[in-house]
Amino acid sequence: MSLLEVDDLSVTFARRGQRTVHAVDGVSFSVDAGEVVGLVGESGCGKSVTSLAIMGLLPKQPGLRVGGKAVFDGTDLLQLDDRSRRDIRGRDIAMIFQDPLSSLNPVVPIGLQVTEVLARHRGMKGDAAAKEAAALLDRVGIPDPKRRLKEYPHQLSGGMRQRALIAMAVACKPRLLIADEPTTALDVTIQAQILELLKELVRDSGTALVMITHDLGVVAGMCDTINVLYAGRVVETARRRPLFREPRHPYTVGLLGSVPRLDAGRGERLNPIPGSVRDVLPWPDGCAFAPRCSRRIDACVGEPPELVLAHDGRSYRCVNPAPLPGVEPGQEVRGAVPTEAQPGSVPAQAVPNDPPAVQGFGPAPREEEKP
């Protein structure tokens, strides 16, 4: 049984006098213990809302409705009362957010922001807590941790702040860590370090990680399984290698095709997906991606496409999926596989350090391209 089983999760915001917004519209995915799962999609596809709904952190407001299930270790998180939810948060499930500066309290020293988690969930106080906090900061690679404990967020650099946030998140050795765009607000060089750190922590502690990102480079470097989201639904789920090598859903194909590459020929152009996330068909009327899709056929409109289960546990939600490689579009797709020097993705050094279990995807296509 999986550690986290999200089933038909939906989040709607109803506002007086306005259209009801389906931010998340029936998302299902699962996370096994120790696994790294990616939730990928453009901004506005509902990936962040999904994570906040699981954590019970959506801002309370009238008209907010959360449906479906999010079963963590046998209990449905969505059914819990506020108190039990607070018990689980920070102890069993922790979260890392996008912008480390605004996610840290500016008027509370870093030390207290770490020790308050220890006090809450591990009952640690005083010197013991301070010692543990210093150890945690040391563990996430913050030099001179004792001094840093007394400092305030504005005295730390961006990368250090994100490390501090990670230290708070892993303070109680959670079984599940949700990282919502943890590197988006950081410099490219720092991004790689933070991803490396996350990978290392996850590997050492056996924590499962849900990686929420729009950056395919991040996904390629870290995730075991990837869920591609579009308009509040999962449109394709696959292991990393098959997803990059043979994406089936046209949206996934499009995402991979719009990544710029350094090794592309001079004349080659990017293949952006036409239109924007706003050109969406409501799911009940057909495939939400249909208005932007290049493989659109009659069957796309009218009814929502069913989830198609394919071999190897992968699935996609499309009536006219991209054919498997060897046939035409696969060639383009293979070309989109990230390589070491891609901007915004995991740099090359991340790849050789990869443990065998999650063998880096990066070098693979190059080998294939040679023959």
Partner 1 sequence: MTITTGKKEKIDRLAELAARDDERGVSLWQEAFRRLRRNPAAIIGAVILVLFVLVAVVGPFFVPYGPTDAIGIRDGVVKSGQGIIPGSSGEHWLGYDHQGRDVFSRMIVGARQTLLVGVVSTLIGLAIGALIGGVAGAAAGLGGRWGRAIDTALMRVIDMMLALPSLLLAVSIAALLGASLVTVMIAVGVVSVPVFARLLRGSMISQSHSDYVLAATSLGVKKSKIAITHVVPNSLAPVIVQATLTLATAIIEAAALSFLGLGNPDTAVPEWGVMLADAQPYLGIRPALAIYPAVAIIITALGFTLLGEAMREALDPKLRK
Partner 2 sequence: MFRFIVRRLLQLIPTLFGLSLLLFIWLRRLPGGPETAILGERGTPEMRAAIRRNMGLDEPILVQYGRFVRRLIRLDLGTSTSTKRAVTTEFLERFPGTVELTVMALAIAIGLGIPLGYLAARRRGRLLDHASVGGSLIGICIPVFFLAYVLKAIFSENLGWFPSSGRQDPTIGATRITNFFVLDGLMTREWDAAADALWHLVLPGIALASIPLAIIVRITRASVLEVLNEDFVRTAEAKGLTERTVRRRHVLRNAMLPVVTSIGLLTGGLLSGAVLTETVFAFSGIGAFIYDAIGQRDYPVLMGFILIIAVVYVLVNLIVDLSYSLIDPRVRVR
Residues contributing to the site for partner 2 (CB under 8 A): 55, 57, 59, 62, 82, 85-91, 94-95, 97, 99, 102-109, 112, 116-117, 120-121, 152, 154, 165, 168-169
Between CA 89 and CA 128 the distance in angstroms is: 22
Could you tell me the smallest distance in angstroms from the CB atom of residue 299 to partner 1? 10
Binding site for partner 1 (CB under 8 A): 17, 275-276, 278-281, 285-286, 290-291, 296-298, 301-302
Could you tell me the smallest distance in angstroms from the CB atom of residue 300 to partner 1? 8
Burial of 82 (0-12, 13-18, 19+ CB in 10 A): exposed
Nearer to partner 1, 280 or 322 (CB): 280
Nearer to partner 2, 90 or 145 (CB): 90
Nearer to partner 1, 26 or 291 (CB): 291
Do 95 and 208 touch, CB atoms closer than 8 A? no
Nearer to partner 2, 105 or 349 (CB): 105
Do 273 and 294 touch, CB atoms closer than 8 A? no
Tell me the CA distances in angstroms from 227 to 28, 41, 238, one per residue in order: 9, 9, 7
Which of partner 1, partner 2, none does 267 bind, CB closer than 5 to 8 A by kind? Answer: none
Could you tell me the smallest distance in angstroms from the CB atom of residue 22 to partner 1? 14
Q: Which two tokens stand for residue 162?
A: 């994100």
Burial of 265 (0-12, 13-18, 19+ CB in 10 A): exposed
Which of partner 1, partner 2, none does 285 bind, CB closer than 5 to 8 A by kind? Answer: partner 1
Which of partner 2, partner 1, none does 102 bind, CB closer than 5 to 8 A by kind? Answer: partner 2
Residue 207 DSSP class? -
Could you tell me the smallest distance in angstroms from the CB atom of residue 65 to partner 2? 18
Which of partner 2, partner 1, none does 37 bind, CB closer than 5 to 8 A by kind? Answer: none
Give the CA count within 13 Å in the CB-facing half-sphere of 215.
24
Could you tell me the smallest distance in angstroms from the CB atom of residue 145 to partner 2? 19
Could you tell me the smallest distance in angstroms from the CB atom of residue 103 to partner 1? 19
Strands laid side by side in the 4-13 sheet: 21-31, 4-13, 64-72, 75-76
Nearer to partner 2, 98 or 225 (CB): 98
Between CA 206 and CA 227 the distance in angstroms is: 21
Which of partner 1, partner 2, none does 353 bind, CB closer than 5 to 8 A by kind? Answer: none
Nearer to partner 1, 17 or 352 (CB): 17
Nearer to partner 2, 167 or 243 (CB): 167
Tell me the CA distances in angstroms from 182 to 105, 213, 287, 293, one per residue in order: 17, 8, 30, 30
Which of partner 2, partner 1, none does 22 bind, CB closer than 5 to 8 A by kind? Answer: none
User: Which segments of 247-348 does DSSP mark as H helices, in order?
Assistant: 250-257, 328-335
Query: Which of 195, 142, 204 is CA-nearest to residue 173?
Result: 204
Between CA 82 and CA 142 the distance in angstroms is: 34
Which of partner 1, partner 2, none does 247 bind, CB closer than 5 to 8 A by kind? Answer: none
